[in-house]
Amino acid sequence: MPAIIIERRARDDVRAVMAVDNLCFPTPWSENAYRSEMGNVSAYYLVARLPARRFGTPTEREARIIGFAGAWIVMDEAHVTTIGVHPDYRRHGIGERLFGAILEEAVARGVRRASLEVRETNRAAQSLYAKHGFTPIARRRRYYTDTGEDAIVMWVEDLQAVGTGQWTVSSETTDAGEPAAGHWQLATGH
């Protein structure tokens, strides 16, 4: 698999993110929800993209969004609002890289605590979150309106301690070896 670029979501990315969201979740976010989050000063959203190809069809020459993640970061707390990876690209560590990048930003902003909700049947996601120090603390009955499924609330009390040395951010470079403006990649330390 080619290198994946993790970067801030841009306004122009909304439709591509929605396409992936539709493949990931029975009840995806609306276009209005995504656009309103663009104006939310507490919101921090990322996308994962395949780099553009130099040759091929016009579609192949475009950088393709294959994942997304987001969080609200308010004072010393973060709440992960969404994370999804295109089904064709799962099990390649992209979700973990997106999640790690969200946590890295939270740590950089001085966040101490973080929370999220996850479907009770989504064991893979629960395992990923536990790997990053999150523990289940509560259950929200019938939280997911599409199926009536419960949500497991997961929490980490001291993200600064959990994250120390766990994530390493390295710059994406151009063909000339120069740092690419606005692009970075996350390499997990384990």
Residue labelled with tokens 């979501």 = 9
Alpha-carbon distance of 116 to 130, in angstroms, equals: 12
Looking at this protein, which amino acid is placed at residue 138?
A: A
Cross-strand pairs, 152:
118, 139
Q: Of the listed 77, 129, 144, 178, which one is catalytic?
A: 129
157 is an active site residue: no
117 is an active site residue: yes
Terminal CA-CA length for the chain: 19
Q: Of the listed 60, 117, 144, 149, which one is catalytic?
A: 117
Looking at this protein, which amino acid is placed at residue 137?
A: I
Cβ–Cβ < 8 Å for 73, 109: yes
- Give helix then strand counts, H and E, for the chain: 6, 9
For the annotated catalytic residues, the residue numbers are: 117, 129
